[in-house]
Structure 1
C-alpha cells in the first residue's frame, strides 16, 4: 500500500464506481468495494484474536492506512450508496482516536442518510454523538484536554439526527466541560466563555436530569458571579 501508483489507481477506481451507484442501492458487486470488503473480513479475523481493547485500537491504527485510497475516492465522488466498508472504517477511526478522520466520513454518511451495519444497535447519528462525547469524558476524567472544535463539529453534524435525549445530553455535557476546563479562579476569564459553558451544561441537564452536570453547573455559576462582582 506504500506504492503511490497503486494508491492512485485504487482511489480513482473507487471514485468511478461510487459515482455510478445510486443512493438507494449498495456498493455490493463493485470491484473496488468487494476488494476492500474482502480485506475487511480478513482484518476482522485478526482483531478477533485480540482481547484487549487497547490492543484492538492499536491494530486498527496500523490497518487503517490500507483503506485510505478507497475512502478518499468514495468521499470525493460517491452518491451515498450504502457502504459497509465506509461505515466500518468510520467506526475504526473513532476507536483509534482519529476523530477528524472519523467525522470526515460521518459528514458524508449522515448527509446521505446511510445506516450502520446490522451488528450495531445505535443509529448513525447517535453513534457519532456518543463516541465523541465518551472519548471526551475519558480525557476529562484524567485531566487531559479534548479538542473543543471536534465536539462542536460533532454537535453540528448530529444536530438534526434523532437520538435518545441521554445521548445528546452527553455531548452537551462534554462540550460544557471542555468550554470551562481552563477557566478557574486563579486564571480568570471574560464572562462570555463561562456563560457559554453554563448554557451547554443547562442544555445537558434539561435533556437528562441525571447526566452528571449539576456540580459543574454550580461551580460555573459561582465563577460567573465572582467575575461579575470583580467587573463591577
Structure 2
C-alpha cells in the first residue's frame, strides 16, 4: 500500500486554504469543490443580493450570474446520488422559482420534498407551501391576462388536492382559482354567463364548494349563485 506523503498532505491543506480564501474573497468556488467551499461562496453572493434595492436587479443577478455559477455543482450533487442537507441545492431551487424557470423549479422542488431538504433560512415556509404560493401567484397573473397557466397549474394542483397538507387558506385559494379558471373567457374574466357547457359549470361548482369547505370566508358565494343562475338558464333554454 502506498504511503500517504506528509508533503502531499501539506499541499492539500494549502490548496484547501487557498480555495477557501478565494471563495470568500471572490464569491467563486471551483465547480468540483466541497459543499463547504460552495457555502462560503454562497454566503458572499447572498450578501451581494441583499445590497440590491430593486427586485428586478435581484432577479437579473439570480438568472444571469448565480444560477449559471451554482447549477453545475447542484447537477453533480444530484448525479452522485448521495443525499444530505444541501443549502446550495435549496437556494438554486428558490432562485429557479424567482426567475420563473418553472419546469426545473417544480421538478427539483418535488425532489427537495422527497429528500427532506430544508428550505433556506430566509424562507419561512416548507417546500409544499412555498411552491404552492409562488405558482399560484404566477397563475393568477397569467389567467387575468388571458394566458395559459399550463402545465404548471395542473401539476401543482394535483399535489395540492391529493398529497400536500397545506393550510386551509392556501388550499382554499387553489380550489377557488381552479374553479374560476373554468369560468374565464378569452380576456381572462371569470363570467359564468359566458360558459355554454353545463358540465363545466358543474365542475366549477364542485371546486368552488370545496374551496368554501376549507375556508368559508374565501369569497365564492356570489360566483356560486351566478353559476346556479346560468345552469337554470341553460336548462330552460
Is 2:90 the counterpart of 1:90? Answer: no
CA contact (8 A) 1:145 1:178 kept: no
1:182 pairs, out of 182, 185, 208, with: 185
**Structure 1 residues 197, 119: closer, same or farther in 2, change over 3 A?**
same
CA contact (8 A) 1:169 1:207 kept: yes
Q: Aligned ranges for residues 52-201 of structure 1 at < 5 Å? A: 52-63=54-65, 64-140=67-143, 142-158=144-160, 159-182=162-185, 188-201=195-208
Q: What does the per-residue CA deviation read over 1:55-87, in whole Å, with 9 as the maximum and x for residues that have no partner?
A: 322322223233333333344453542211122
- What TM-score, normalized by structure 1, do the two folds share? 0.71
Separation in 2 of the partners of 1:224 and 1:216? 12
CA contact (8 A) 1:32 1:70 kept: no
Q: Aligned ranges for residues 32-47 of structure 1 at < 5 Å? A: 32-47=34-49
Separation in 1 of the partners of 2:127 and 2:138? 17
* Equivalent position of 1:207 in the other structure: 214
CA contact (8 A) 1:80 1:108 kept: no
- What TM-score, normalized by structure 2, do the two folds share? 0.70
Q: Tell me how far 1:35 sits from its aligned partner.
A: 4.4
**Structure 1 residues 37, 175: closer, same or farther in 2, change over 3 A?**
farther
Separation in 1 of the partners of 2:114 and 2:135? 18
CA contact (8 A) 1:148 1:179 kept: no
Segments of structure 2 that go 5 or more residues without pairing to the other structure are 1-31
Q: What does the per-residue CA deviation read over 1:173-203, in whole Å, with 9 as the maximum and x for residues that have no partner?
A: 2222333323757864433333323222222
CA contact (8 A) 2:192 2:201 kept: no
Segments of structure 1 that go 5 or more residues without pairing to the other structure are 1-29
Q: Partner of 2:182: helix, strand, or coil?
A: helix
CA contact (8 A) 2:192 2:226 kept: no
CA contact (8 A) 2:192 2:227 kept: no
How many residues matched?
Answer: 200
Q: Tell me how far 1:132 sits from its aligned partner.
A: 1.4
Please, what is the CA RMSD of the aligned residues?
A: 2.8
